[in-house]
Structure 1
Amino acid sequence: MEISGSLFFSRGNNNQISFICGSGSWLIDMALRYPNSEFIGLDLNPSPLPTNLPKNTSFIKGNLQSIPYEDEEFDFLKTGELQVDFTEVEYKHAIDEMIRVTKRGGWVEINEPDIYPLRHAPNYAKIVESYNLQDIQFDCKIINVGPQGGELGNQCAEVYTIYFKDLYGQELADHLGLTYDEYLQTLWKNAEEEMNNSCIEIRYYRFWGQKR
């Protein structure tokens, strides 16, 4: 089965999709390609969105820790890059919430880049532990972090920035005996240049399962 693609969305006219949306670019693109499906974007801090949205698209403010919908409302949920936002316990609860609002026979898909190049994404196995999914599958591709990696590469660069600059920059600076400003002007500045020049390659994981 091709999750996120035409085989899923062409099955019928009533598919409802919930996506933890970020910029909303994937959601809008899919809404334009599949006008008979309904697409709903959910994000705690949504980015500014285009004013001319497809008619089958809507966006709401919400949190994966408490998705504001009743049980079994959606055919398909897609999200990604959760590891920079949640602890391990919160990550597991977010998956449980996604499964809760998915219809029986519906699908859940999660995408995770490695934080550390060419090592397993720390939380990718959490979906396997979710007792209420079956036919669990995953694939992996190696991508360039930054502009030359396309949309995925830019998303991964954003994750790296959140993780190594915003969340743990001060801690890393302290560990290295640097001030935060010194860290930003030396190591982090060089790391940004490496990302922009596509010197960093990582594994990007995509995994999905069907609700029993």
Structure 2
Amino acid sequence: METTTTTEFRNEVLKTTANTTFRISGGRRLANDANVAYILPSDQDEVKRLKLNHDLWKELMNGLYKSDMHEQLEKGIRVLDVGCGPGWWTLDMAALYPNSQFVGIDMADVFVTKDLPSNVTFKRMNAGTGLDFDDGSFDFVFQRFLVMGLSVDQYSSSVAEIKRVLKPKGAIEILELINDYSNASPAFARITSWIQQAMDSRGLDSFIADKVSSILETAGFQTIKDVNYDVPIGPWGGEPGEMFLAIQKLALPAVKVMVTELTSATPQEYDQTVQQALIEEAHSHQVSTRFRLIYATK
């Protein structure tokens, strides 16, 4: 995939995407809108990271989802992917289930549209301010990794909106990161502290994944199932550990702008700490990250 240059993105600073304005900082394109809590970049480097992340989770989950929707998907239903990013999950699902229709939404236009299947539609939409769909529009709604994209209030309102656009007995599935390294080495612990400080300053909750089941229950969802994952970082974790280390090598530089703008960490201090974590400690400590997969029915 060709990498879009910083200059090309700089020319788009004043361009709005789904009423979202972007800015360039540290060579990365970031949302610059009071209605957008998302604090990671939205650019082609991030597209690469999200592809690796998607491939990792296909392996960890032994598939693309856990909800009991296979038969319905084969017959043909409508599916919404909230915060789809480039749309890797949407595209894989569309290829697997050609009789179903898939809609992917994201506040930034980084969609992969080459050879777009006829059963896929991408829309620019900020899930943090509501879903522009009619009641009961979808049979299955999928959402993942919006811990750095939705404030605490937006997370709850997003779940309520998902319930609204779901048909009766429709399914919801949420996969979420917990921003806290387990068995953290010194450098990883420092990085976690910085990220949590930055997120707190923007009204984001590093541990929202631990609360999703309660949010779904409060919203009135039924048959809630909650699965915990502990994903290793580094060679000690075998192939998944190597894959997740490769993802961290893209994710932690992506977080740099957020950390250095919203905490006291300097760019040099952050770079040195990340190098220590990824080059040294990922090979000498058994560090991991927790995730939770929660799925339920309306």
Letter in 2 for 1:95: V
Structure with the higher fraction of residues in helix conformation: 2
Whole-Å Cα distance in 2 between the matches of residues 151 and 64 of structure 1? Answer: 32
Aligned to 1:61: 124
TM-score (norm 1): 0.80
Q: Does 1:19 align with 2:106?
A: no
- Cα distance in 1, alignment partners of residues 114 and 139 from structure 2: 27
| Per-residue CA distance 1:108-132 (angstroms, 9 max, x = gap) | 111111210239x611213423332
1:199 positional shift: 5.7
Q: CA deviation at 1:102?
A: 0.9
Query: Aligned partners of 2:64, 2:271: CA distance in 1, in Å?
Result: 41
> What is the total number of aligned residue pairs between the two structures?
204
1:8 counterpart = 2:69: yes
Deviation at residue 54 of structure 1 after TM alignment: 1.7
The aligned runs of 1:156-175 (5 Å cut-off) are: 157=248, 164-172=255-263, 174=264
Q: Which residue of 1 aligns with 2:147?
A: 83
Measure the CA separation in 1 of the matches of 2:292 and 2:119. 29
Instruction: Describe the shift of the 1:75–1:105 C-alpha distance in structure 2 as closer, same or farther (beyond 3 A).
Output: same
- For residue 18 of structure 1, give the secondary structure of its aligned residue in structure 2: strand
User: Considering only aligned residues, what root-mean-square deviation do their CA atoms show, in Å?
Assistant: 3.3
- Measured in 2, the distance between the counterparts of 1:60 and 1:152 equals 30
Correspondence for 1:191: 277
User: In structure 2, what is the equivalent of residue 138 of structure 1?
Assistant: 226
The CA distance in 2 between the partners of 1:166 and 1:135, in whole Å, is 40
> Helix, strand or coil: the match of 1:153?
helix
Provide, for residues 144-189 of structure 1, a one-character-per-residue CA deviation record: whole Å limited to 9, x for no partner.
3489538983797366555x523233444x1xxx5x2222331133
Counterpart mapping for 1:102-141 below 5 A: 102-118=166-182, 122-124=207-209, 125-129=211-215, 130-141=218-229
CA distance in 2, matches of 1:6, 1:123: 21
Residue 208 (str. 1) matches residue 282 (str. 2): no
2:185 aligned with 1:97:
no
Q: 1:134 to 1:113 in 2, by over 3 A?
A: same
Question: Which is worse superposed, 148-157 or 60-69?
Answer: 148-157
Whether 1:41 and 2:104 are equivalent positions in the alignment is yes
* 1:146 to 1:207, Cα distance in 2 relative to 1, 3 A: farther
Distance 1:76 1:143, change over 3 A: same
TM-score by length of structure 2 reads: 0.59
Deviations 1:68-107 (A, max 9, x none): 1011110111111111122211111111111111111001
Listed as ranges, the gaps of 5+ residues in structure 1 are: none
1:34–1:154: structure 2 CA closer, same or farther, 3 Å change rule? farther
